[in-house]
Amino acid sequence: MFTKHICLFLVAVFFAKWQTMVAQVDTYDVMCQQLSEKSLPLVNLLVDVDALVRSDFISAEIEITDPQRRTDPHSETVRYACGVRIRGGYAASQEKKSYAIKLYDAEGEDFDAPIFGIRNENSWILDAMAIDRIRMRNRVCFDLWNQISKTPYDTPYNNRNGTAGVFVEVFLNGIYQGLYCCTDKVDRRLLGLKKWRVNEDTGIETVRGILYKGINWLSGSKLTEYKQTLTDQISWNAWELQYPSDHPSDLTWNPLMALIDFCAFVNADDVFLAGYQDHFYPENLVDYLVFTFALNVGDNAYKNTFLSTPDINLHQRFLITPWDMDMSLGGYYNGNRDSSFVNVDRYAYVAPFNRIMSHDIDNLLSRSKERWCQLSQTVLSPENVQSLLEGYARLFTESGAWERECSRWNNIPVPLTSDFSEELDYVIDWYAQNCAHLNQQWGIATDIADLSESSALPPVSDALYSLDGRKLSVHQHARLLPGVYLYGGKKLLVK
């Protein structure tokens, strides 16, 4: 009996020490000591966690350790005073929180810093990606969008029309929180919008640059109708005034009213054709249409979308910038898989795409198809998208971040597979099929043979490959799942 108690005691001691060792591995200080060239940057927020809310920033400090020294070339670690708040709508309801960060100087004023070399800025986002099973959809979408779409005017940031970001591992007061993406924001400075100003003698305000964000699925956010409401609020008819956010008024909301009036009440096609370029950039419309179709970005247009114009006193042409694209690449808003493919009629009730799709105004639908033919062979090709996905997957696995993320957040709220390739293969296969589906819906001929009938399948004795070049065994060949395959140097679509 005595020996049994001794054994149980030793087991308990070992277990306690093992727990301590595991806990130490997931602390900021310990992981800083274990950094290697394959490590992701580490971000530690020193903050009163119980005081964190969505509405207000609370005082904190942020500590960043980056082996590549992208923030400060002279030091791996930098530390700033900051404010922190919980960010997001649906995302804020998740246990794994996303955070908005605002950097301050010693006097409490906004302080700009070149975090990870992205740009010199004071406002940053730590995106938790909590409902994304591969933790990269939003980043991948923005990476692709930034290659496709540029601002049609010069900006200090190489005409970038979307966020840039770096994957990091985040800690709260030294305790591990998981895999995040640190990004800048879509804001006035990124898009080159002119600041509002006040005449010091008269006190008269001059509004110049405007930035709106769609926040709900209503007729207002579809640019088809609005209800007359007060304009002294930051929110108006499913839109939120992002800049200048502290000056809601007729001056700031009238440009959006005029845009909706044009889209909703100009009935004659020739009148619409003559005036639409006073309100939109044709290339931007085409790129947004092709991009959201190819990736099946499902929670946008214009919810989760920005409209901006650099100076309303010069013109009121609006640029479209997407946002929050977790619902893409075969994923649903709640993290479930969405195996359905794009429906090219999805914008039938969203202006001005309703005109483009039904009447091919200014040949914009034809131009969209031509743009897709170009991009589907380059930036948006299945091979390029697969390469981007696999590159981030290697980053996650080789750094050990994915193993830690699975340990911390599996089934909270979505399942995470320790074998990353399982979910990644699904996304890669889904994208290839969506591309084929878009070609089919738009009547675009490709070199992909349609093997809808099992009798049309190649003999099992012939070599057949998956899109990533893996040769399929005879057993796999005989039980082909729907998807795109390589056979005889050509792509084959199996339905």
What is the rounded CA–CA span in Å between residue 146 and residue 164? 8
Alpha carbons within 13 A on the beta-carbon side of 26 = 20
DSSP-based three-state secondary structure for 104: strand
pLDDT of residue 228: 77
**Residues 176-191, mean pLDDT to the nearest whole number:** 98
Q: Are 192 and 156 in contact (CB under 8 A)?
A: yes
Mean of the per-residue pLDDT values for the chain? 88
Domain range annotation of the chain? 35-128+154-190, 192-375, 447-495
- Give the model confidence (pLDDT) of 278-335 as tens digits: 999 999 999 999 999 999 999 998 999 999 999 999 999 999 999 999 999 999 999 9
**How far is C-alpha 314 from the chain's CA centre?**
31
What is the rounded CA–CA span in Å between residue 319 and residue 192? 12
DSSP-based three-state secondary structure for 363: helix
Whole-number Cα distances in Å, 142 to 125, 371, 374, 422: 14, 18, 19, 23
Binned at pLDDT 50, 70 and 90, residue 460 comes out as: low
Helix or strand run (H / E) with residue 169: strand 165-172
Whole-number Cα distances in Å, 433 to 124, 300, 374, 494: 35, 21, 18, 9
pLDDT of residue 2: 42
Helix 282-294 vs helix 137-148: angle between axes, to the nearest 10 degrees?
150
Alpha helices in 228-378 (DSSP H): 250-265, 269-275, 282-294, 353-359, 364-375
pLDDT of residue 57: 97
- Give the model confidence (pLDDT) of 22-45 as tens digits: 334 479 999 999 999 999 999 999
Q: Are 209 and 194 in contact (CB under 8 A)?
A: yes
pLDDT of residue 467: 55
DSSP-based three-state secondary structure for 138: helix
DSSP letters, 16-81, are HHHHHHHHHHTBHHHHHHT--TTPPPEEEEES-GGG--SSS-EEEEEEEE-TT-SS-TT-SEEEEE
- The structure tokens listed for 63 are 């500590």
**One-letter amino acid of 270:** D
What is the rounded CA–CA span in Å between residue 175 and residue 411? 20
pLDDT of residue 480: 57
pLDDT of residue 269: 87
Burial class (CB in 10 A: 0-12, 13-18, 19+), 466: middle
Cβ partners under 8 Å of residue 165, min gap 6: 118, 127, 139, 142, 181, 182, 183, 184
Characterize the bridge pairing of strands 165-172 and 175-183: antiparallel
Q: Indicate the Cα dihedral angle 322, 324, 327, 333, nearest 10°.
A: -140
Which of 104, 448, 148 minimizes the C-alpha distance to 320?
148
- Least trusted range by pLDDT, from 68-72, 353-357, 469-473: 469-473
Whole-number Cα distances in Å, 56 to 53, 95, 128: 6, 19, 19
- The structure tokens listed for 470 are 């893996």
Terminal alpha carbon distance of the chain: 67
Alpha carbons within 13 A on the beta-carbon side of 347 = 30
Predicted confidence (pLDDT) at residue 102 exceeds the cutoff of 90: yes
Predicted confidence (pLDDT) at residue 111 exceeds the cutoff of 90: yes
